[in-house]
């Protein structure tokens, strides 16, 4: 399966276990009680009541021996800590932008950037905005527009780079709204669109459109290493190149980036905002000091900066990336072979089950993704995440519409679960799929004004 150096089929994790955490086994009755008490919102279920936690790959991975050792080097000086310079060097080896602004996580970088460049009347295109990105754009008064290629909206369609941006639509938008687009964003990999990669050729084409309209281009680079691995595997002419070289090509095509180090920083917390524009950096640093902290630590402790610096060295390792992408595909391929509809091909960090296709009797406004996520939890204690109408259905004008897709994301924490854990997940999903007809939809009982999926409460509809 791994198809490693010697071509063996079996995936082996390229590490062995050094410290263990217990997983608490629960019964079906206990889980039913826990999910009812949580208003059928899995974000409100206590983590100790979860058996296999696939809610997110964000900050949930295992750190390496060398990251824990690096933490001991953390220097907590307020200004100019050596840990800051270690972090800065590690970031700039891959992303050589002039200004690097540390933040406590990705959304803090988004908040600062869009507070400066967003605002009413502005529009920000992206291949697909992640939920916090969209929320931060909209909180500034600007409009968030998704321009992924048509293939990226077809769950079962095979395409090597389903995260690519539709450059013709981008060109049309920039022509129709001159002066209204302060930045074009491209998310690598495209999380909300199924963890699908973006090709270097596509980013070059996006850059050309941006240049024609004199608009800067930024990366949402959370999963840059996984994206680079797909480029190496799938894009013509890239197979012999090193991962850091491919990453630097992506960086060079853009003018800046936002980053959550909780993904391909292999850390439990952290992020940054980076750019070449001096005037923009100055405005962002002013906001950083207001809300995050001084410019050489952002919202982070010195030890966090050290863990990220070491994580960035490890994440570009080819043995790690080969294992990472192949082991995610192992889950997706097994579900596909059992006839369970998933987003194909499998992305880098997660398998996305097409809940709308699996539960065609549940209309989008009765939340098939939520229904499936709850069923997986009750059946086997697996916590996934609805990415669909609950997450994206509420519009800024208060109306509700079906999202483009209703998916359940099974995100794989990095270096955390073994193949037998994943075999168990496969068995549970198969059992739930076998009784799909009996699963009913949900209605929302209460919800906040924005980002409702985190705290909304639900009630099951009658079968």
Q: Which residues bind ligand PLP (CB under 6 A)?
A: 58, 105-107, 130, 132-133, 187, 191, 220, 222, 260, 262, 271
Closest to ligand PLP by CB, 187 or 296: 187
Q: How far is the CB of 191 from ligand PLP (least distance, A)?
A: 4
Is residue 7 classed as helix, strand or coil in its secondary structure? coil
Closest to ligand PLP by CB, 216 or 271: 271
Closest to ligand PLP by CB, 345 or 348: 348
Q: How far is the CB of 33 from ligand PLP (least distance, A)?
A: 29
Cα separation of 347 and 328, whole Å?
A: 8
Cα separation of 433 and 236, whole Å?
A: 38
CA–CA distance from 146 to each of 126, 405, 437 (Å)?
A: 5, 13, 33
Closest to ligand PLP by CB, 195 or 441: 195
Cα separation of 43 and 35, whole Å?
A: 10
Q: How far is the CB of 187 from ligand PLP (least distance, A)?
A: 5
Task: Specify which residues 190 forms β-bridges with.
Answer: 196
Q: How far is the CB of 3 from ligand PLP (least distance, A)?
A: 27
Q: How far is the CB of 338 from ligand PLP (least distance, A)?
A: 27
Cα separation of 365 and 163, whole Å?
A: 26
Cα separation of 191 and 196, whole Å?
A: 7
Residue 400 per-residue DSSP state = B
Closest to ligand PLP by CB, 2 or 183: 183
Q: Rounded to the nearest 5°, which phi and psi values hold at 456?
A: -60, 150
Closest to ligand PLP by CB, 90 or 132: 132
Q: How far is the CB of 104 from ligand PLP (least distance, A)?
A: 8
Q: How far is the CB of 270 from ligand PLP (least distance, A)?
A: 8
CA–CA distance from 115 to each of 90, 137, 182, 214, 288 (Å)?
A: 27, 8, 12, 21, 11
Q: How far is the CB of 273 from ligand PLP (least distance, A)?
A: 12
Cα angle for residues 214, 151, 204 (degrees, 5° grid): 30
| Assigned token pair, 57 | 């790959």
User: Helical H runs in 60-105?
Assistant: 65-71, 82-94
Residue nearest to ligand PLP (CB): 106
Closest to ligand PLP by CB, 53 or 220: 220
Closest to ligand PLP by CB, 222 or 315: 222
Closest CA to 226 of 15, 411, 99, 418: 411
Q: Rounded to the nearest 5°, which phi and psi values hold at 142?
A: -85, 170
């Amino acid at each position: 399966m791994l198809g490693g150096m010697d071509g063996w089929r079996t995936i082996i994790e390229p590490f062995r276990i050094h410290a263990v955490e217990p997983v608490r086994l629960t019964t079906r009755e206990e889980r039913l009680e826990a999910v009812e008490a949580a208003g059928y919102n899995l974000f409100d279920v206590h983590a100790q009541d979860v058996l296999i936690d696939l809610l997110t790959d964000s900050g949930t991975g295992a750190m390496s021996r060398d990251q824990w050792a690096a933490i001991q080097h953390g220097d907590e000086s307020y200004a100019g800590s050596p840990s800051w310079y270690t972090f800065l060097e590690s970031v700039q080896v891959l992303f050589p932008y002039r200004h690097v602004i540390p933040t406590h996580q990705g959304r803090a970088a988004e908040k600062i950037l869009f507070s400066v460049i967003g605002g009413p009347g502005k529009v920000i295109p992206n291949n697909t905005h992640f939920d916090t990105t969209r929320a931060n754009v909209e909180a500034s008064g600007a409009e968030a527009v998704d321009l992924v290629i048509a293939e990226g909206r077809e769950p079962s369609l095979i395409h090597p780079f389903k995260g690519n941006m539709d450059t013709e639509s981008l060109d049309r938008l920039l022509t129709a709204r001159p002066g209204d687009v302060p930045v074009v964003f491209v998310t690598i990999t495209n999380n909300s669109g199924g963890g699908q990669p973006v090709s270097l050729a596509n980013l070059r084409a996006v850059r050309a459109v941006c240049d024609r309209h004199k608009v800067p281009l930024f990366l949402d680079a959370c999963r840059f290493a996984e994206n680079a691995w797909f480029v190496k595997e799938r894009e013509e002419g890239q197979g012999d190149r090193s991962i850091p070289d491919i990453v630097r090509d992506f960086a060079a095509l853009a003018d800046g980036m936002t980053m959550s180090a909780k993904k391909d920083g292999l850390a439990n917390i952290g992020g940054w905002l980076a750019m070449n524009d001096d005037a923009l950096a100055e405005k962002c640093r002013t906001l950083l000091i207001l809300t995050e902290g001084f410019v050489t630590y952002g919202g982070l402790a010195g030890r966090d900066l050290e863990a990220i610096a070491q994580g960035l060295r490890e994440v570009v390792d080819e043995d790690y990336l080969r294992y990472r992408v192949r082991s995610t595909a192992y889950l997706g391929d097994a579900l596909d072979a059992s006839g369970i509809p998933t987003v194909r091909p499998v992305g880098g960090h997660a398998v996305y089950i097409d809940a709308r296709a699996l539960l065609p009797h549940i209309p989008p406004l009765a939340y098939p993704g939520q229904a499936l996520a709850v069923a997986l939890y009750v059946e086997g204690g697996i916590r996934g995440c609805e990415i669909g109408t609950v997450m994206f259905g509420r519009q800024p004008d208060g109306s509700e519409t079906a999202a483009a897709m209703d998916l359940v994301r099974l995100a794989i924490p990095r270096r955390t679960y073994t193949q037998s854990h994943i075999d168990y997940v496969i068995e549970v999903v198969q059992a739930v799929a076998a009784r799909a007809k009996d699963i009913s939809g949900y209605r929302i009982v209460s919800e906040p004004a924005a980002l409702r999926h985190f705290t909304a409460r639900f009630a099951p509809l009658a079968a």
